[in-house]
Amino acid sequence: MSTREERTLARIALTWLAEPGTRSVARLVDRLGSVAALDLLLDGRAPDEKLRASIAARSADGDPRAVAYDAMARTDRLGARIVTPEDAEWPPGLADLRELRLPGAYRKVDTETAPPLCFWVRGSWPLAEALDRSVAVVGARAATGYGTHIATELGYGLGDRGWTVVSGGAFGIDAAAHRGALTAGGLTVAVLACGLDRPYPMGNAALFDRIADTGLLVSEWMPGAEPLRPRFLIRNRVIAAGTVGTVVVEASARSGATQTGHRALAMPRPTMAVPGPVTSAMSVGTHELLRDYPKARLVTGVAHVLEEVGRIGDDLAPPARGPDRPTDALDDDARSVLEAMPRRGGVGVERLAARAGVDVRTTLRKLSLLEELTLVVRRDDGYALVSTPRPRRATT
């Protein structure tokens, strides 16, 4: 076994001994290297008692090096690969997790947010390249029809414009965003909270296969790892750190999607939320995100998202406006003349000029313009508004 393989094996063993994100383990690897850090922990010299107890309990279930070696073999059989920070395809943005500190955090999933030690990856795209222009689109599993529609539109629009759509592969918003990107022929990445050989939920198995064919499946957990509840929350820091920005489409008051948004805000990354009906429980989390965090931006579509994450000057969202009307180009005098026209019947030029408060010569010029725009018509009794035909009422 080469020195590089030995270091990779040690990283796998460390990931098995302590859940991803454990800060004390990450610091040891940064200071000593993965091989020496593994030796130190297996010798019972972990820096804190809680970690020593955890490692002792996990080691009782098997030899960490043997487990890691078996994981490497299973990875090969799966047609996947292991990516470490030594590889060229390692995403540089994950380094920001070293500095991530969440205000008021006390739970382990909120304090243990160190960068990953390694990834299992299935798919042909280089991981760093896939995440270079990427947006996370996350939200509720129990999504409403409204949320599913918005997530699909965002996924399609981002994918169509060459952006990678990143999400967690769950039912609801995640799946809708992935499918939208796939429909557009775009790239999408699913970051899982379990082994690549048992992606969760199983109901999305066909979707995961499509993603692996054209995009990437990514996990911090070795093949065979179960989708335990805390792992979804641990996984969310990778979605937030690996992408350029995060959009929360729908989220209940306490949800993993808003947790992803909190991590994106703390790093900081552009963090966006889609407003929803104030009566919807699935929009409580997005509304609270917008209320509590001034840096969170309200977005309603792809144009707004690109304005937040795109290059300055290249991806500005057009101003919101209604449909173009023939009257949009009229100046003040022309508008005055048009507004002075009687709703019914005709009117002479002099009378119209008096009603509009515009001199007769100007009134004539503006009437010529209004005729060209088919807004008024000349008749024997003067000028009249062009009537808009009413839709014919259906007969029974």
Domain end among 9, 37, 64: 64
pLDDT at 324 over 80: no
Tell me the whole-structure pTM to 2 decimals.
Answer: 0.83
Residue 122 sits in the same domain as residue 187? yes
- The residue ranking higher by pLDDT, 315 or 377, is 377
89 or 48, which is more confident: 89
> Looking at residue 212, what is its pLDDT?
97
Q: In this structure, which amino acid lies at residue 223? A: P
Q: What is the pLDDT of residue 313?
A: 43
Residue 318 inside a domain? The answer is no
- Tell me what pLDDT residue 321 has: 56
pLDDT at 387: 77
Residues 370, 285: one domain? no
The span from the CA of 372 to the CA of 121, in Å, is: 64
pLDDT band at 345 (very low <50, low <70, confident <90, very high): confident
Residue 84 within a domain: yes
More confident residue, 315 or 203: 203
For residue 161, how many other CB atoms are within 10 A of its CB? 16
Query: 12 lies in which domain range?
Result: 1-64
Band of residue 311 on the pLDDT scale cut at 50, 70, 90 = low
Of the given ranges (226-235, 263-272, 316-325, 370-379), which has the lowest mean pLDDT?
Answer: 316-325
State whether 171 and 295 are in the same domain.
yes
Residue 366 belongs to a domain with what CATH number?
Answer: 1.10.10.10
Regarding whether 366 and 302 lie in a shared domain, the answer is no
Over the stretch 19-29, which tens digit does the pLDDT of each residue have? 999 999 999 99
Same domain, 8 and 114: no
72 domain residue, yes or no: no
Chain segment 231-266, per-residue pLDDT in tens: 999 999 999 999 999 999 999 988 899 999 999 999
Contacts of 165 by beta carbon, 8 Å cutoff, 6+ apart = 134, 135, 137, 154, 155, 158, 159, 177, 178, 180, 181, 186, 187, 188, 189
Asked if residue 217 and residue 169 are part of one domain, the reply reads: yes
Place of tokens 């957990």: 221
Token pair of 333 as six digits: 């005098």
Please indicate, yes or no, if residue 395 is contained in any of the structural domains. Answer: no
Residues 86 and 167 in one domain: yes
Are 340 and 294 within one domain? no
Could you tell me if residue 394 is inside a domain? Answer: no
Q: How far apart are CA 52 and CA 22, in angstroms?
A: 13
Are 266 and 360 members of one domain? no
Answer with the one of 279, 309, 339 that is the final residue of a domain.
309
Residue 175 corresponds to which tokens in the numbers above? 């799946």
Q: What confidence score (pLDDT) does residue 319 get?
A: 54
The model's pLDDT over 156-188, given as tens digits with 9 standing for 90+, comes to 999 999 999 999 999 999 999 999 999 999 999
Q: Which range, of 139-153, 181-195, 311-325, averages the lowest pLDDT?
A: 311-325
% of the chain exceeding 70 in pLDDT:
94
Average confidence (pLDDT) over 66-93: 97
The answer to the question of residue 316 being in a domain is: no
Same domain for 25 and 99: no
- Same domain for 128 and 161? yes
Same domain, 27 and 161: no
What are the CA-CA distances from residue 48 to residues 33, 52, 114, 287 (Å)? 19, 6, 16, 40
Residue 70 lies in a domain: no
Please report whether residue 320 resides in a domain.
Answer: no
Domain boundary pick from 309, 342, 370: 309
- The arithmetic mean of pLDDT across residues 337-362, rounded, is 91
The number of domains in the chain is: 3
